[in-house]
Structure 1
């Protein structure tokens, strides 16, 4: 009968021999991750110390070799480098998401944990860190830090450096109550006036604005598209010959760290690729932009810088802040227009139609984050409640 093989990661009986300097050497046969049995040894002043050192060495045999050995004694900094290398190896993340993960890890997490080994990072340490971040900074930062921590420790578990992910047992983050706020028609018109009049007229030096900011706003209002998606619209994405005119949302502008700004060939999600029919005010803007780039190729962007390069989302956000600050309008971002569109469409056609327009996979996301709650109750209730009116002396209401 064949003798059963020793399971991987286990060792046989420990033997002891004298080592130099009066020390004791403890030895054992160990079946490694590759299935081969090897002799492992360690020394100590006494048998007990030698045995303890041997067991420590055996515990570190299982390793992941990428940027060095990854074990429970590896530093958290080593784990981060291995994790980032693993993300690049998989290559499944959008460049913007990959950059966000690294930024969150280095700015939010590393300053706290870089001095620890993996075995020293416990559930309680992680829980205290996440709660502190949520309390002292923001829920959003705490959530992002929790995400990258969980991903990195998940890799450590997969490569047997630790037994379980310490992020999994931390307390659930409670999102503070919030409410999506849409712009009113009056506010939208005030923004239009502010943008059209910015740095125009006497008293302003230099060339006036090129008019693209107000046009970009009209396209956001007419499509619900994100700012990066609007800046990624090409000539071939626009059809003004149909009635109503349509725009295909099929890309976004990205600015990866250390790389030039460029058009990414897909928007945020697969569902986000969509063809949108636009209102007349957006159609007028699109016709004007097509005239401006009439001599360009079909894949040319309709919104570009003076040098013909893609506009960056950060520059548009910065310019919008400057315009609205000068006009005394606060709290408006490009995403405010997207929430406004979602709310207007919901009031007229329901949340499902709003979700379809925004490119969401379900109306749940649209309701929670984009549609401003309607506080008004159907006025028919007033008629129904007339039955409770006080009676007159003659018994009539």
Structure 2
């Protein structure tokens, strides 16, 4: 029995020219209209060769920027801030690959593009852009626009985050003490004793806090939303972020005082001016705080006690470090900080102090060090 030919070129009946058609290994049968029979067979040969190499794209006129625009418009179920970041990252790479036909996009060009991008953008931005573009091209394969993802074997560049600075216990106490006469004292103490993110603190409601049992439940966060005014309360992003926290007695006491003070402020505020959402931290009119306001105040207070290169987020690093350097398992810090993996707690948020290193050296010395023989006096 004669096997079926993988391609055909037949003369068109409705107009001049030929119809070339090829049968691909996956069953697809793309068609192309050409002027001559030779052009038709040339196209059949190229199409089969591209299919074998995994570089076949059916619509070979489509440029990468057109595909990426359609891909972005088709993102469903993504929060507006995330979609904004997608568009921003794609805009960084478009000058390098946008004018290239999708079928002509090759690994060397993409690698050069990211090498150039790394000259003007942070390592974390380059890493995110790499992951987004790779995902977009993988979707092109799933949609049978591309036969093979040219980034399939390419590893994302290192994020370059590394380990960040943590405050010492003395520095942490100094910042909290310096804030005692401000309305930010309770916020800073809570961050120092819970490891909460700034957005989680600013999105905290009194209904999430049980001052009797000391349990706090993280459920919402304060967030700016691209294209919208103000700060909004939104659900926390992940299941690991939605977590319970047990507050130490000192934090419970200060929170009770803070709640009483807030109640007095509400009574003084004209009812028509109160904008309260039952927030634990808000202005005298009940308005949710911008994160930038916290950043400014924290920097001023930290600088006043001689502490530099820290932000409110440093409290999270400090909490993780203090817990682990005092013998708490990494899984405890992971749960408190709301990380999905213990490795993130270790890689980014843990900082070994000199005291801890010296204690470790003492332990090893006790295990492996040579015991000195006691001096004896010869009485003979």
Look up the SS of the partner of 1:276 in the other structure.
strand
Distance in 1 (CA, whole Å) between partners of 2:97 and 2:31 is: 35
1:183 pairs with 2:167: yes
Look up the SS of the partner of 1:252 in the other structure.
strand
1:262 pairs with 2:246: no
1:387 counterpart residue number: 370
2:97 counterpart residue number: 113
Question: Which of residues 18, 28, 34 in structure 2 aligns to 1:26?
Answer: 18
Q: Render the CA deviation track for 1:150-191: whole Å, top value 9, x for unaligned.
A: 111112111122222222222553465933432112211333
1:146 counterpart residue number: 130
1:225 CA drift (Å): 0.9
Distance in 2 (CA, whole Å) between partners of 1:181 and 1:247 is: 27
Look up the SS of the partner of 1:110 in the other structure.
helix
1:344 counterpart residue number: 322
1:315 CA drift (Å): 3.5
Question: Which of residues 324, 330, 340 in structure 2 aligns to 1:361?
Answer: 340
Maintained 8 Å contact 1:234/1:302: yes
Maintained 8 Å contact 1:228/1:253: yes
1:63 counterpart residue number: none
Maintained 8 Å contact 1:212/1:303: no
Q: Give TM-score scaled by structure 1 length.
A: 0.74
Look up the SS of the partner of 2:357 in the other structure.
coil
2:38 counterpart residue number: 48
1:65 counterpart residue number: none
Distance in 2 (CA, whole Å) between partners of 1:157 and 1:253 is: 38
Q: Which runs of 5+ in 2 are unaligned?
A: 50-56, 267-273
1:82 pairs with 2:64: no
Distance in 2 (CA, whole Å) between partners of 1:151 and 1:335 is: 30
1:170 counterpart residue number: 154
Distance in 1 (CA, whole Å) between partners of 2:28 and 2:330 is: 61
1:317 pairs with 2:295: yes
How has the CA–CA distance of structure 1 residues 116 and 13 changed in structure 2, closer, same or farther, with 3 Å as cutoff? closer
1:328 CA drift (Å): 5.4
Maintained 8 Å contact 2:58/2:146: no
Q: Render the CA deviation track for 1:73-105: whole Å, top value 9, x for unaligned.
A: 3222222222222222xx0x3443333222222
How has the CA–CA distance of structure 1 residues 274 and 19 changed in structure 2, closer, same or farther, with 3 Å as cutoff? closer
Distance in 1 (CA, whole Å) between partners of 2:216 and 2:307 is: 30
Maintained 8 Å contact 1:133/1:141: no
1:360 CA drift (Å): 2.2
1:97 pairs with 2:85: no
Q: Give TM-score scaled by structure 2 length.
A: 0.77
1:212 CA drift (Å): 3.7
Q: Which runs of 5+ in 1 are unaligned?
A: 60-68, 198-210
1:218 counterpart residue number: 189
Distance in 1 (CA, whole Å) between partners of 2:241 and 2:343 is: 15
Maintained 8 Å contact 1:181/1:371: no
Look up the SS of the partner of 1:126 in the other structure.
helix
Maintained 8 Å contact 1:40/1:54: no
* Higher RCO (CA-CA < 8 Å; seq separation 6+): 2
2:270 counterpart residue number: none
